[in-house]
């Protein structure tokens, strides 16, 4: 997978293919359905499959107070897109110049001149150009005028609702990572820098890595079964999100206990795949009651994570 941040440096070999434009936050099952068609169109036109995305999300410039927390960071998004057959991801730097382009200017300058697209694949709600003025009808007329194939892929249903990044955010925000997993192509992943905490877990025999600087959506408070990635290797992990009411600690933390792990990882970045929510955050009568519950949690983590680990291979963070 190639990541391109400057269209002026885009190689000729990556032009003349099939293109899709969007944010692709989370890279969910609906995206996968669209990307399946993208790769098919790319083979038909004998060119690469290209995803054009934006950094930052245009809403962060136009209406920053409405900008949703992201589900993925750029390198993670590229990894997920690569798994689905995408050849290159263009990360277009969002600025006021880009946002001022009309739909026609955007199509001419970027889709035709820079990408040399022979095919476009989009969803039915796609809009582009200044003030999202470019509708599907306008896109169709522009494609017809430039001999570019256009395919519209209908959205995907999960239950009685469409799969979407906003729906996945809502599920994660309430701790329903199991529902989020049904809509995502891979388990929901967060990353952060390992910092020192209060060492309460270590004193009880369950040392935790406290993660700071998480740059994506944090799940609702609770205890989760997870898999942590360290130096490309997965480890079963128990995650506690929230405070510690047993010790009257209200500070919201993200703590990871890696099972069967002894290494010192302070000051390093740790990635964590959230598999399932075990319970909410609870206040226990004493340390012994908390200890007993943590032991039960670890058993649950093993039961949930080990079958998943058996089917996985080494991964990149």
93-147 pLDDT, tens digit per residue, is 888 888 899 999 999 999 999 999 999 999 999 999 998 999 999 999 999 999 9
- Same domain assignment for residues 135 and 255: no
- Same domain assignment for residues 12 and 148: yes
Domain end point (choices 118, 143, 158): 158
- Same domain assignment for residues 40 and 128: yes
The answer to whether residue 100 sits within a structural domain is yes
The enclosing domain of 35 has a CATH number of 3.40.50.620
The answer to whether residue 264 sits within a structural domain is yes
The answer to whether residue 17 sits within a structural domain is yes
Residue 242 lies in domain = 187-310
- Same domain assignment for residues 154 and 197: no
| Alpha carbon distance 49, 117 (integer Å) | 10
The answer to whether residue 109 sits within a structural domain is yes
Q: Tokens 């890279």 map to which residue?
A: 27
pLDDT digits (tens, 9 = 90+) for 263-314: 889 999 999 999 999 999 887 878 888 888 889 999 999 999 988 888 765 5
The answer to whether residue 209 sits within a structural domain is yes
Q: What angle do CA 26, 164, 253 make, to 5 degrees?
A: 50
Q: Tokens 């006021």 map to which residue?
A: 96
Tell me how many domains the chain contains: 2
- Same domain assignment for residues 206 and 298: yes
Q: pTM for this one? A: 0.91
- Same domain assignment for residues 191 and 151: no
- Same domain assignment for residues 139 and 200: no
The answer to whether residue 165 sits within a structural domain is no
- Same domain assignment for residues 192 and 294: yes
Domain end point (choices 119, 137, 158): 158
The answer to whether residue 174 sits within a structural domain is no
pLDDT (0 to 100) of residue 249: 62
Domain end point (choices 107, 140, 158): 158
The answer to whether residue 262 sits within a structural domain is yes
| Strands ordered across the beta sheet of 18-21 | 2-4, 88-93, 49-55, 18-21, 119-122, 149-152
pLDDT digits (tens, 9 = 90+) for 148-188: 999 999 999 998 899 999 999 999 999 999 999 999 999 99
pLDDT (0 to 100) of residue 315: 57
- Same domain assignment for residues 6 and 117: yes
Q: Is the pLDDT of residue 203 over 70?
A: no
Q: Which residues of 133-144 are buried (b: 16+ CB within 10 A; e: fewer)?
A: ebebebbeebbe
pLDDT (0 to 100) of residue 313: 59
Q: Work out whether the CA dihedral 69, 246, 249, 304 comes out positive or negative.
A: negative
Query: Hey, is 121 helix, strand or coil?
Result: strand
| Alpha carbon distance 157, 152 (integer Å) | 16
């Amino acid at each position: 997978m190639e990541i391109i941040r400057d269209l002026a440096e885009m190689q000729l070999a990556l032009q003349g293919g099939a293109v899709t434009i969007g944010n692709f936050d989370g890279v969910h099952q609906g995206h996968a359905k669209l990307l399946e068609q993208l790769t098919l169109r790319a083979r038909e036109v004998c060119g690469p499959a290209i995803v054009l995305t934006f950094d930052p999300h245009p809403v962060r410039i136009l209406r920053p107070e409405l900008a949703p927390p992201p589900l993925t960071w750029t390198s993670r998004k590229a990894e997920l897109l690569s798994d689905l057959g995408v050849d290159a991801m263009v990360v277009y730097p969002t600025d006021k110049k880009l946002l001022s382009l009309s739909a026609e200017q955007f199509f001419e300058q970027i889709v035709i001149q820079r990408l040399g697209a022979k095919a476009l694949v989009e969803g039915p709600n796609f809009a582009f150009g200044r003030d999202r003025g470019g509708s599907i009808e306008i896109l169709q007329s522009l494609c017809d005028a430039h001999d570019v194939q256009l395919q519209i892929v209908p959205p995907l249903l999960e239950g009685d609702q469409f799969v979407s990044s906003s729906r996945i955010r809502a599920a994660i925000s309430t701790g329903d990572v199991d529902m989020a997993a049904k809509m995502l192509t891979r388990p929901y992943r967060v990353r952060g820098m390992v910092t020192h905490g209060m060492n309460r877990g270590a004193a009880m025999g369950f040392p935790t890595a406290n993660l700071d600087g998480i740059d994506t959506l944090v799940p609702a408070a609770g205890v989760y079964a997870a898999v942590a990635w360290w130096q490309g290797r997965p480890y079963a992990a128990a995650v506690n999100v929230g405070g510690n009411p047993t010790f009257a600690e209200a500070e919201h933390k993200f703590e990871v206990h890696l099972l069967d792990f002894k290494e010192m990882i302070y000051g390093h970045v740790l990635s964590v795949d959230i598999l399932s929510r075990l319970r909410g955050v609870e206040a226990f009568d004493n340390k012994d009651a908390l200890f007993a519950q943590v032991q039960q949690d670890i058993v649950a983590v093993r039961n949930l994570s080990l079958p998943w680990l058996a089917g996985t291979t080494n991964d990149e963070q």
